[in-house]
Amino acid sequence: MRVADFHFDLPEELIAQSPPPVRGSSRMLILDRRAREYRDDFFRNLPHLLHPGDLLILNDSRVIPARLYATRVRGPHTQASSPDPSGRIEVLLTQQLGPHEWTALVRPGRKVQPGERLHFAAANDHAPLLEAEVLSAGDYGERTLRFTPTEDFRAILDRIGHMPLPPYIHRNDTADDRDRYQTVFSHEPGSAAAPTAGLHFTPEILDQLRARGIQIETITLHVGLGTFQPVRAENVEDIRLHAEHYTLPAATAEAINAALREKRRIIAAGTTTTRTLEHCAHQATTAAFEPHAGIRLHPHTGETSIFIHPGYRFRVVSGLLTNFHLPQSTLLMLVSAFAGREAVLAAYAHAVRERYRFFSYGDCMFIL
């Protein structure tokens, strides 16, 4: 299967540049994957579409202000007061490796090589608040950085960092993005991008779901390169994803085991949740190879680079809430694996005709 098989034409004006005025007011396209039928609705009606006893799983990872701007220091022995005047360097922190080490995407990458030092200051201030050494270089601007220890790295990051809006949002981040590019249930900091299906939920909608007897549990997957890296392969089978850090809590593992045993539906809010649950299913001991047969999940923390594409057999997830994704992206391939490529592309064509809003701040789909 070729990556080009997942192309669709998207007018640029349908790419949402900002969130809807009211959280939870987005449109929602409902896709019945068995009947291959779809219909238009609104996200606020989600509680009435779920059944008592359904298990809804959310990703509670919290987006950090991971986009920083740096200046290079010229030479290993140059003083902090001598920045390189050749322009600022954009640094997107993608995953924490240790107490002071991070992987990052750096632009322009050709300017930043191993052994160099970067200084990070507040706007209109030359005194660096953070310093980092470039330890190694990878492809496409990937770098490993080691920061000089500070008393409170996270507090400084909150002060000088920017919310990492995706590149298809053609504006600078604002103070409003600190709230709107964050789910209302986010708890564990560490993501370099929002788990966008969760952006639609409000406290009121969550209360309505619980009142209808829908059980809600969480996992944590810190969104990094594995979720939003661009596809550079021509064949789907050649795609490899970066690993991302996840946690499956005990309460969630127990709830999933009970739902599978009792044959209740498990609804994943987002592709990050889906990837985590399906990865955990593969780590579990199974008595058979049929979906939902003999699976017992155990609480744990780990990393996943699972790539789900058509041909994959889902073992946990039976319903999916997801935003509309980029053409030829791994996320669109995951959705196509769940609902069928032809059905998904037909639904996307309908969404384009009906002027749905696409991508992170856009509308959503509910697939059953």
CATH number of the structural domain spanning residue 268: 3.40.1780.10
363 closest CA partner among 323, 332, 326: 323
Residue 283 is predicted with a pLDDT of 87
Please tell me the least confidently modeled range out of 37-46, 82-91, 115-124, 138-147. 82-91
Q: If DSSP codes are grouped into helix, strand and coil, which group holds residue 7?
A: coil
What confidence tens digit (pLDDT) does each residue in 59-116 have? 999 999 999 999 998 655 444 444 554 568 999 999 999 999 999 999 998 889 999 9
**H-helix segments, the chain:** 46-49, 153-160, 177-180, 203-211, 225-228, 250-261, 271-283, 330-339, 341-353
Q: Select from 135, 160, 185 the last residue of a domain.
A: 160
Q: What is the pTM of this model?
A: 0.93
319 shares its domain with 357? yes
83 shares its domain with 211? no
Is 331 domain-assigned? yes
29 shares its domain with 104? no
What confidence tens digit (pLDDT) does each residue in 230-288 have? 789 999 999 999 999 999 999 999 999 999 999 999 999 999 999 999 999 998 854 34
CA angle 351, 230, 300 (to 5 degrees): 95
Q: Select from 94, 125, 160 the last residue of a domain.
A: 160
**Separation of alpha carbons 30 and 365, rounded Å:** 6
Mean pLDDT of 304-308: 96
Q: What separation in angstroms does the CA of 63 have from each of 131, 183, 317, 353, 358?
A: 22, 9, 24, 32, 20
Please tell me the least confidently modeled range out of 39-43, 74-78, 258-262, 362-366. 74-78
114 closest CA partner among 81, 76, 150: 76
Which pair of tokens denotes residue 342?
A: 């032809």
Q: Which long-range contacts (CB under 8 A, 24 or more apart) does 113-118 make?
A: 113/137, 115/76, 116/72, 116/73, 117/72, 117/73, 117/76, 118/70, 118/71, 118/72, 118/73, 118/89, 118/91, 118/145
Which pair of tokens denotes residue 314?
A: 């889902």
Give the residue numbers spanning the domain of 277: 3-63+177-367
Q: What's the total number of domains in the chain?
A: 2
